[in-house]
Structure 1
Amino acid sequence: MEYIRIQSIEDPLFRSMHNLMKEVFPPEEVLEFSLWKEPLEDPGIRVFVAVHEHEVVGTTEYRYYEDWNVAMTDFTIIGREGLGIGRFLAQNRLKDLQALASENGGQELFGMFAEIYDPYRVQDYEFGGVKPMDPFVRREVLSHLGYKRTDLPYVHPSWNNDGEAVSGLDFCFMPTQDTVDKLPSELIINFLKRYYAVLPNKPKAWNDMIAGLEQKETVALLPL
C-alpha cells in the first residue's frame, strides 16, 4: 500500500478520493469538487490517499498549526475491509505530523483535534455501508487511539455554507501525553475561529457556543 499526497484537483487520484467521500459521508459534510482547488494547493492542508493495487482505498486530511503545535484531523475514510487501512493511515499521519513538529523547533506534537460522530445521539449515518466506518466502531477505535471529548455542547457550521448548525458530533482532542486532562479555552476558541474562517455564514448556535467558551478558562477532557 502507498501513502500518496494529493495537491491538485487535476490529479486523477483526487476524483477517486472525492467519489469515495460522497459514498461514505452525508452530503452536508462533503465540499463540492471545484471548491477543493485552493485547499489542495494550500501547503498547510495535507491530503493523503492510501492506494492499493492502483485503487484509492482510503484517505485522510489533516493540518498542522505551528503556532499552537497542534494538528487537526479533518477526516479519515476506510474504503475497504481487511487491508489494515485504518492503522496504515493513522501511523503514516502521525509520522508525518511528528516530523513537522520536530521541524518546528524540535518539539513533540502536543496533540490532535478531531470531530467525532456520536452514534448514541444520531443513528442514521450509514457511511456507505462500509463496516469499518460504522460510527460505533470508529468511536471505539478513536478512543483506543487516545482521543478524549471536550466538555462542551458542540456544533459546527455546515460545509454547505448555508448558515445551518451541524450537531451529533463531539469535538475531541488526542493529547500526546495521556496525563493531559484539560485544555485552555483560548486554544479551542482560537482554533475553531481559524478553522471555520472559510465559512462566513456562522449559525447562531455556533456563535453562542463560542461566547460560552469565552466565559471559561479551561475545558475538561472526558472519556470518549
Structure 2
Amino acid sequence: MLQYRKISSIDDPYFAKMHRLMGEVFPPEEVLAFELWREPLQDPTIQVYVAVLDGEVVGATEYRYRPELAVAMTDFTIIGRAGLGIGRFLLTEREKHLRELEKESGVPSLGMFAEIYDPGTEAASSLAFGSVSPMNPLVRREVLSHLGFKKLDVEYVHPSWDHEGKAVRGLDFCFRPADESADSLPSSLPGRFLRWYYSALPNKPREWEEMMEAIEARDRIALLPI
C-alpha cells in the first residue's frame, strides 16, 4: 500500500531516494543540488512528500500555500512507476493537505500556480523524463488541463535551479483558478508570486528580468487553454 510521507530533512534516508529519482526524471538545471535542500526542507511553508511502496520512493510532490497572496503552488510531481495509481494518490493527498493549510490560514485560495512543460518545444521534446510514460510532457499536460489549469499568456522563462543563472525555456506558467469561469488574472498576482518564488535564486538571467518587467507593465494577463 502506498504511504504519504513528509520529508523535512536531507538526513531522512527517503530524501536521498527522492533526490535520486529527481535526477532520473528531470534535466540537471531543474534539480537543486542535494546539500542545497537542507535549508528549504526546514522551511515550514514548503511541503515535500514522497509516495513510498515497500520501502522505496516511487513518487514525490512539493507544494506550498501562500496566504499573503491567497495562492498555492505545485512545484513538482514525480511518478516513478506506471500502473500503480501514484499520480492519483499524490493528487488526492496533496489536495487534502492544501485544504487544511487554507483552512488554517483563514484565507480562501484564489487558485494554484504550476510550471508545465510545453511538449511542442525542442527543449521539452528532447527530454526522456526517466522513460516513465506518465511523466511524458504530452500526458502530464493533458492531465493538468483536465484538472483545470490554464496557461498565462506570456513567453515564459525561469532561472535555472543549478544556480548558474541560465534562462530555462520549454515551459508554460499556468494557473488553476478557484473560479473556473476566470479567463484572466491581474498581472500583479503572478508578478508578486514570481518575484517571491525565485527570490531564493541570486543569479537571474536578463531574459527573466525582461519577462518580469513585461508582466508588471500589464494590467491583466489572459488565461489560455493548454
Stretches of structure 2 that go unaligned for 5 or more consecutive residues are none
What SS is found at the alignment partner of 1:196?
helix
Deviation at 1:220, TM superposition (A): 0.6
Counterpart AA for 1:112: M
Match of 1:115 in 2: 115
TM-score (normalizing by structure 2) = 0.96
Q: How does 1:203-222 map to 2 (within 5 A)?
A: 203-222=205-224
What SS is found at the alignment partner of 1:159?
coil
Structure 1 window deviating more from structure 2 (188-197 vs 175-184): it is: 175-184
Match of 2:197 in 1: 195
Q: How does 1:75-224 map to 2 (within 5 A)?
A: 75-105=76-106, 107-122=107-122, 123-224=125-226
Tell me, yes or no, if the aligned pair for 1:51 and 1:57 is still in contact at 8 Å.
Answer: yes
CA distance in 2, matches of 1:78, 1:138: 10
CA distance in 1, matches of 2:170, 2:71: 24
CA distance in 1, matches of 2:110, 2:188: 15
CA distance in 2, matches of 1:163, 1:38: 20
**RMSD of the alignment, in Å?**
0.9
Q: How does 1:10-49 map to 2 (within 5 A)?
A: 10-49=11-50
Deviation at 1:52, TM superposition (A): 1.3
Tell me, yes or no, if the aligned pair for 1:97 and 1:109 is still in contact at 8 Å.
Answer: no
Match of 1:64 in 2: 65
Deviation at 1:108, TM superposition (A): 3.7
Deviation at 1:180, TM superposition (A): 1.5
Counterpart AA for 1:209: M
CA distance in 2, matches of 1:109, 1:211: 26
CA distance in 1, matches of 2:225, 2:92: 22
What SS is found at the alignment partner of 1:197?
helix
CA distance in 1, matches of 2:216, 2:147: 29
For these two proteins, the number of residue pairs brought into alignment is 223
1:164-208 C-alpha deviation (Å, 9 max, x unpaired): 100010000011221121111111111001100011111111000
Structure 1 window deviating more from structure 2 (94-103 vs 28-37): it is: 94-103
CA distance in 2, matches of 1:181, 1:91: 26
Deviation at 1:24, TM superposition (A): 0.4
Match of 2:54 in 1: 53
Moved over 4 A (4+): none
Tell me, yes or no, if the aligned pair for 1:118 and 1:168 is still in contact at 8 Å.
Answer: yes
